[in-house]
Chain A
Amino acid sequence: MLMGIFLFAHQLMAQDISVSGNVKDEKGEALIGVSIQVKGTTIGNITDIDGNFMISSVPANSELIFSYMGYETQTIAVKGNKVINVTLKEDSQALEEVVVVGFGTQKKVNLTGAVASVGAEVLENKPVANIGQALQGVVPNLNVSATNASPNATPSFNVRGGTSIGLDSDNKKYEVKNGSPLIIVDGIQVDAEYLNMMNPSDIENISVLKDASASAIYGARATYGVMLITTKSGKNDSKASVTYNLNLQWNTPSHTPDILDAYTIQLATNKIAEMTGGTVTPWMETLLAAKKKYMEDPKPENAWIYNEGSTTNMTWVANMNPYEVGVKNWTPLQRHNISISGGSAKTRYYISLGYQRQEGMYNINTDIQNRYNINANLNTNISKWLDVATKISYNTSNYNEPYMNYQKGNVWEAMKNDPVRNMNMPIKTGPNDPIPDAWTDNILGWLAYGATQSTQKTSTVFNITPTITICPELNVKAELSYRPTEYFQKRVIPVRNYVVDNWNSTINSHTYPSTVREETRHSDYYTINAYANFNKAFGSHNVSGTAGFNQEWYYYRQLHGEAEDILTNDLPTLGMTTGSQYTGDNAEHWAIRGAFLRANYDYAGRYLFEFSGRYDGTSRFGHDTRYQFFPSFSAGWRISEEKFMANTRNWLDNLKVRGSWGSLGNQDVANYAYIASYGAAGYISWVMNNEQIKGMNPTGIIASDLTWETASTLDFGIDVTTLNGRLDATFDWYTRRTTDILMSGTKLPAVLGATVPKRNSGELKTNGWELSLKWKDQLSNGIRYDVGLVLSDYQSKVVKFTGNENNLLSSLYDGMKMGEIWGYETIGILQESDFTIDENGKYVLIGPSQTKINSTIYPGDVRYADLDGDGEITKGDETVENPGDRKIIGNSTPRFQYGITGNISWKNFDLNIFFQGIGKRDIWISDNVFWGGSGNAGNWEMYNNSWTPEHTDAKYPMYAGRISGTTQSGYLFNAAYLRLKTLALGYTLPKTWVSKAKLSNVRLSLSGYNLFEITQIPNLYDPDQISSAYPMMRSVAFGLQVGF
Chain B
Amino acid sequence: MKFNFKKYILALGIASVLLPSCNDDFMERYPLDEITDESFWKSETDLKMMLNSLYPLYIIGHQSGWSNSKNYPIGYTGSPLMYGDIYSDNCVKTGNEFSSLAGELIVPTGSGESTGWYWWNLRKVNFFLTHYDKAELSQDKKNAYAGEAYFFKAWEYYKKVLYFGDVPWITRDLNVDSEELYAPRTPRAEVMDSVLMCINKAVNWLPEKADQETDRLNKDQANFLKARICLFEGTFRKYHTELGLQETANKWLEEAVKASEALLGKYSLYKNGDETYWKMFAVTDLSDNPEVILARNYLENKVGHAAQRYYNQNNSSYQSMGATRSLIDEYLCLDGRPIYTGGSEGNYEKNSNFLGYGKWTELENRDPRLTQTICRPGEHVTIYKGGIVDKDLNGITYPGLSYTGSGPTVTGYRVIKHWMGDVVEEDRLYNGIQAAIEFRYAELLLNYAEAKYELNGTLSQSDIDLTINALRERAGFDFSKYPTAKLTVGQEPADPRLDKIYAEKLDYTVNPLLREIRRERRIELAIENHRYEDLMRWKAGKLLTVPLRGMNFNAVKDLYDGTHTDKPEIAVKVELNKTVFVDDEGFLICYPKSPYQNTIKGTLPWDDYRYYWPIPKEELIMNPNLVQNKGWENK
B18–A530 touching, CB < 8 Å: yes
Select which of B17, B31, B181 is within 8 A of A530 by beta carbon.
Answer: B17
Interchain CB contact under 8 A, B17 and A590: no
**Given A468-B14, A549-B20, A678-B36, A692:B299 Cβ within 8 A:** yes
- Asked if residues B34 and A678 are in contact (CB atoms below 8 Å), the reply is yes
Within 8 A of A (CB), among B169-186: 170, 173-176, 178, 180-183
Name the segment of B97-105, B213-221, B255-263, B482-490 touching the other chain.
B213-221
- Least Cβ distance of B557 to chain A in Å? 24
Give CA–CA (A748, B128) in the complex, Å.
Answer: 22
**Stretch in A195-203, A356-364, A668-676, A790-798 with 4+ CB within 8 Å of B:** A668-676
Q: Report A256-300 residues with CB < 8 Å from chain B CB.
A: none
Interface residues of A in 537-562 (CB under 8 A from B): 547-549, 551, 553, 557
A756 on the B face (CB < 8 A) = yes
Interface of B is mostly: loop
Report whether B124 and A752 are in contact in the complex, using a CB–CB cutoff of 8 Å.
no
Q: Is B424 an interface residue (CB 8 A)?
A: no
User: Measured between C-beta atoms, what is the minimum distance from B179 to chain A in Å?
Assistant: 11
B39–chain A nearest beta-carbon distance, Å: 9
Q: Quick check: A593 and B27 within 8 Å, CB to CB?
A: yes
A751 and B20 contact, Cβ closer than 8 Å, known pairs A588-B32, A675-B30, A680-B33: no
Compute how far the CA of A549 lies from the CA of B180 in the bound complex, rounded to whole angstroms. Answer: 48
- Chain B residue nearest to A619 (CB atoms) is B29
Beyond A585-B33, A681-B49, A694-B52, is A468–B27 a contact (Cβ under 8 Å)? no
Render B100-123 as a binary contact track against A, CB cut-off 8 A, 1 for contact.
000000000101100001111111
B127 touches A698 (CB 8 A): yes
Chain B: minimal CB distance from A279 (Å): 17
A-B contact pairs, 22 of them (CB 8 A): A7-B1, A470-B11, A478-B14, A553-B26, A587-B32, A588-B32, A588-B33, A591-B29, A672-B30, A677-B36, A688-B52, A691-B299, A694-B49, A696-B49, A697-B50, A697-B124, A698-B124, A703-B176, A749-B111, A749-B622, A750-B619, A753-B123
Complex CA–CA separation, A772 to B384 (angstroms): 72
Residue of A nearest to B119 (CB): A753
Q: Is the CB of B49 within 8 A of A549?
A: no
User: B297 — which chain A residues lie within 8 A by C-beta?
Assistant: 687, 690
Cross-chain contact of A587 among B33, B52, B127, B302 (Cβ < 8 A): B33
Beta-carbon contact of A468 and B181 below 8 Å: no
**With A685-B303, A748-B622 as contacts: A589 and B36 at CB distance below 8 Å:** no
Partner of A588, one of B31, B121, B178: B31
Q: List which A435-474 residues lie within 8 A (CB) of chain B.
A: 466, 468, 470
Contacts of A477 in B (CB 8 A): 14
Digitize B1-38: 1 where CB-to-A-CB distance is under 8 Å, 0 elsewhere.
10010011011001101111000101111111111110
A724 to chain B, nearest CB (A): 45
Report if B560 contacts A (CB, 8 A). no
List, in ascending order, chain B residues with CB within 8 A of A11's CB: 1
Count A-side interface residues using an 8 Å CB cutoff.
77
For the A-B complex, the count of residue pairs with Cβ-Cβ distances under 8 Å equals: 200
Q: Are A626 and B27 in contact (CB-based, < 8 A)?
A: yes
Cβ of B53 < 8 Å from any Cβ of A?
Answer: yes
Given A587-B33, A686-B303: A593 and B127 interface contact (C-beta under 8 Å): no
**Known contacts A588-B32, A619-B28, A687-B303; is-contact A695 B50 (Cβ 8 Å):** yes
Q: Which of B118, B298, B303, B622 contacts A747 (CB 8 A)?
A: B622
Bound complex: CA A690 to CA B127 (Å): 28
A757 at the interface (CB under 8 A from B): yes
**CB <8 Å contact, A698 and B173:** yes
**Chain B contacts with A in 41-71, Cβ cutoff 8 A:** 49-53, 55-56, 64-65
Residues of A contacting B95 with CB < 8 Å? Answer: none
Contacts of B352 in A (CB 8 A): none
Instruction: Decide if A644 is an interface residue (CB 8 Å cutoff).
Output: no
Known: A588-B32, A685-B65, A688-B213. A693 touches B619 (CB 8 A): no
Nearest A residue to B51 via CB reads A695
Q: A591-B26, A687-B299, A692-B303 are in contact. Are A679 and B34 (CB under 8 A)?
A: yes
A583 → B minimal CB distance (Å):
13
Decide if B56 touches A686 in the complex (CB within 8 Å).
yes
Q: Is residue B40 contacting chain A, with contact meaning CB distance below 8 A? A: yes
In the complex, the answer to whether B303 meets A752 with C-beta atoms within 8 Å is no
Assess whether B53 is in contact with A697, with CB atoms less than 8 Å apart: yes
Complex Cα spacing A189 to B119, Å: 45
Q: Does B509 have its Cβ within 8 Å of any Cβ on chain A? A: no
**Does B265 reach chain A (CB closer than 8 Å)?**
no
In the complex, which residues of chain A have a beta carbon less than 8 angstroms from the beta carbon of B24? Answer: 623
Which of the residues B10, B117, B124 comes within 8 Å of A468, measured between beta carbons?
Answer: B10
A window 1-41: CB within 8 A of B? 7-8, 11
Residue A833 is within 8 A (CB to CB) of chain B in the complex? no
Which single member of A468, A681, A701 contacts B7 (CB below 8 Å)?
A: A468
Check if B27 sits within 8 Å of A619, measured CB to CB: yes
Query: Bound state CA distance, A618 and B19, in angstroms?
Result: 17
Given contacts A745-B176, A748-B181, A751-B170, contact A689 B215 (CB under 8 A): yes
Contact partner of B176 (CB less than 8 A), chosen from A557, A591, A757, is A757
Min C-beta distance of B295 to chain A, whole Å: 10
Chain A positions within 8 Å of B622 at CB level? 747-749
> Could you tell me if A688 and B216 are in contact, using CB atoms closer than 8 angstroms?
yes
| B623 sits at the interface (CB 8 A) | yes
Return chain A residues, CB-CB under 8 Å to B174: 751-753
A677 touches B31 (CB 8 A): yes
CA A549 – CA B15 in complex, angstroms? 9
Neighbour of B119 across the interface among A548, A557, A751, CB < 8 A: A751
A591–B26 Cα distance when bound, in Å, is 7
What per-residue 1/0 map shows which CB atoms of A512-530 lie under 8 Å from chain B? Answer: 0000000000000000101
Complex Cα distance A549/B14, Å?
10
Q: Verify if A854 is at the interface (C-beta below 8 Å from B).
A: no
Q: Does B168 contact A (CB under 8 A)?
A: yes
Question: Is B299 a contact partner of A470 (Cβ separation < 8 A)?
Answer: no
Are A468 and B182 interface neighbours, CB within 8 A?
no
Q: Measured between C-beta atoms, what is the minimum distance from B633 to chain A in Å?
A: 19
Query: Is there a chain A Cβ closer than 8 Å to B349's Cβ?
Result: no
Residue with the highest number of chain B CB atoms closer than 10 Å, among A8, A531, A593, A695: A695
Q: Is the CB of B52 within 8 A of A593?
A: no
Measured CB to CB, the nearest residue on chain A to B45 is A681
Question: Would you call B20 and A593 a contact (CB within 8 A)?
Answer: yes
Q: How many angstroms between the C-alpha atoms of A586 and B32 in the bound complex?
A: 8
In the docked arrangement, what's the CA distance between A693 and B52, Å?
8
Residues of B within 8 A of A618 (CB): 27
The answer, yes or no, to whether A305 is at the interface (CB within 8 Å) is no
Tell me the complex Cα distance, A581–B53, Å.
Answer: 24
- Please state if A686 and B33 are interface contacts (CB–CB under 8 Å): no
Knowing A589-B29, A691-B299 are in contact, say whether A672-B34 is a contact too (CB < 8 A): yes
Binary interface encoding of chain A residues 801-835 relative to chain B, with 1 for a CB under 8 A from any of its CBs, else 0: 00000100000000000000000000000000000
Known contacts A549-B18, A806-B109; 14 further A-B pairs (Cβ under 8 A) = A677-B31, A678-B40, A680-B33, A683-B302, A684-B53, A686-B296, A687-B302, A688-B214, A698-B50, A748-B176, A750-B117, A751-B180, A752-B119, A753-B126
Expressed in whole angstroms, the Cα–Cα distance for A697 and B118 within the complex equals 17
Q: Does A754 contact B (CB under 8 A)?
A: yes
Q: A620 vs B626: C-alpha distance in the bound complex, in angstroms?
A: 39
B608 within 8 A of partner (CB) = no
Instruction: Name the residue on A nearest B36 (C-beta).
Output: A677
Contact B31 A671 (CB under 8 A): yes
- How long is the Cα–Cα vector from A690 to B299 in the complex, in angstroms? 7
Q: Does A208 contact B (CB under 8 A)?
A: no
Q: Which residue on chain A has the smallest CB distance to residue B15?
A: A476
Asked whether any CB of chain B lies closer than 8 Å to the CB of A1025, the reply is no
| Residues of chain A in range 461-512 having any CB-CB distance to chain B below 8 Å | 466, 468, 470, 476-478, 504
Q: Which residues of B contact A623 (CB under 8 A)?
A: 24, 28
Question: Is the C-beta of B386 less than 8 angstroms from some C-beta in chain A?
Answer: yes
A937 to B230, CA, bound (A): 62
- Across the A-B interface, the 9 shortest Cβ-Cβ residue pairs: A753-B123, A695-B52, A695-B53, A753-B119, A688-B215, A685-B64, A587-B32, A698-B127, A619-B29
